Amino acid sequence: MNIVLLGPPGAGKGTQAKRLEDKFGLVQLSTGDMLRAAVASGSELGQKARSIMEAGQLVPDELVIALISQRLDQPDAQNGVILDGFPRTTAQAGALDRMLTDKGLKLDYVIEMKVDDALLIDRISGRYTCAKCGEGYHDRNKKPKVAGVCDRCGSREFKRRPDDNANTVRTRLDAYHRQTAPILPYYRAKGVLQSVDGMASIDAVTKALARILSGQPAVAPAAKAAKKAARPKRVAKAARRPAGGGKARRPAKAKPARKARPKAAQKRPAKPRGKKKL
Ligand code: AMP
């Protein structure tokens, strides 16, 4: 099974991809992680990508397409992958289709994680990770249980991404809306697009994703019913109109007086009634 997680920066794609890796035996392919590794190694690709990434812009299509194509050829990618952060442009989406077809693979699901921009800026500008195991934390929402010690591996070293600051986040969000969101209609038309509420808790999002990957609807029927019950009841149209402002109601037209029908037309033959009970 091959899937794409689509969503703005900070939507939780990386966190969820790691959880789905274990659950479904898939491999997470994050172009962001690959590019950061290239920057850290000082390779030619890293040197080209560094300043673009720090500015929050997108690395040229041909570089990331080549990166993903090579990665998809590795033996561990043959059982299925979760693409996290790729594709990010319509050119990348087209290239992904072609490379999957060439490699005899197919795309099973594209899942959009929907999150409001205001929440994303808060999420991203407070996040950091354990430098050793990569466990994610947040200044306000998810602190380590013991201050300064990673819950998962006990390391005392943490790091922040250089592009996780409020200014760059705005550029990254802008890049998402202008360059990445236009991919959504392409996948909707192909019938592979699903979406989940990325504002829900991490566990709830994992559950919704797992349901989709198991071939069930994203929202459990019970949860759907609860949501419906919580919705405000439908109110009659007249009661919904604001008392003051709002669209004024058109005064009812005075009905013309009914014309008297000719007597003959008024008189209908009496219908035969059922037998009277005695
Ligand atoms: P991410 O970790 O997915 O938020 O990516 C971090 C940065 O890497 C992005 O802001 C881009 O500069 C670059 N990047 C990652 N994936 C891509 C991609 N598919 N296309 C272009 N640039 C990318």
> Rounded to 5 degrees, what angle do the CA atoms 62, 66, 72 make?
145
The reported pLDDT for the residue numbered 242 is 46
Can you point out the beta strands (E) in 117-157? 127-130, 136-138
Residues in contact with 199: Cβ distance below 8 Å, sequence separation at least 6, in sequence order: 114, 115, 116, 119
Q: Which residues contact 95 (CB under 8 A, 6 or more apart)?
A: 61, 65, 69, 87
Which residue ranges form the domains of the chain, and what is each CATH number? 3-115+165-230 (3.40.50.300), 127-163 (no CATH)
pLDDT, tens digit, 9 for 90 and up, residues 162-194:
888 888 999 999 999 999 999 999 999 999 999
Helices (H), the chain: 13-24, 31-41, 44-54, 61-72, 90-102, 117-125, 166-175, 183-190, 202-213, 221-230, 237-240, 263-266
Lowest mean pLDDT among 3-12, 52-61, 117-126: 117-126
Q: Is the pLDDT of residue 223 over 90?
A: no
Cα–Cα distance measured from residue 215 to residue 193, given in angstroms and rounded to the nearest whole number:
13
State the Cα–Cα distance between residues 7 and 26, nearest whole angstrom: 19
Atom of ligand 1 nearest to the CA of 13: 3
Token pair, residue 138, equals 């947040």
Q: Atom 8 of ligand 1 has which residue's CA nearest to it? A: 32
**CA 208, CA 201: separation in Å to the nearest integer?**
11
At residue 215 the predicted structure's pLDDT band, cuts being 50, 70 and 90, is: confident
pTM of the model: 0.76
**Residue 89 Cα to chain centre, angstroms:** 16
Catalytic residues: 13, 88, 127, 161, 172
Q: Pocket of ligand 1, candidates 5, 29, 35: which has the most ligand atoms within 8 Å of its Cβ, to mutate?
A: 35
Give me 91's structure tokens: 């050119």
pLDDT at 43: 96
Q: What is the pLDDT of residue 229?
A: 63
Residue to substitute in 5, 31, 65 for testing ligand 1 pocket (most ligand atoms within 8 angstroms of CB): 31
Ordered DSSP codes for 218-258: SS-HHHHHHHHHHSPPP--HHHHS-SSSSSPPPPPPPPPPP
Please give the share of the chain, as a percent, with pLDDT higher than 70.
78
pLDDT digits 0-9 by tens, 95-122: 999 999 999 999 999 999 999 988 888 8
Of 48, 42, 134, nearest to 84 by C-alpha is 134
Atom 15 in ligand 1: residue holding the nearest Cα? 32
> How does the average pLDDT of the chain come out, rounded?
84
Structure confidence at residue 119 (pLDDT): 87
Pick the range with the lowest mean pLDDT from 65-74, 126-135, 256-265.
Answer: 256-265
pLDDT at position 252 is 46
* pLDDT for res 22: 86
Among 49-53, 144-148, 250-254, the least confident range: 250-254
Q: What is the pLDDT of residues 204-214, one digit of tens each?
A: 999 999 999 99
Question: 144 C-alpha to center of ligand 1: Å?
Answer: 27
Contact 7, 113 (CB under 8 A): yes
Q: Which residues is 158 bridged to in the sheet?
A: 130
Ligand 1 atom showing the smallest separation from residue 55 Cα: 12
The residue whose CA is least distant from atom 14 of ligand 1 is 32
- Which residue has a Cα nearest atom 6 of ligand 1? 32
Q: Give the CA distances from residue 33 to residues 67, 83, 92, 175, 211, in Å, rounded to whole numbers and listed in that order.
A: 11, 11, 17, 18, 26
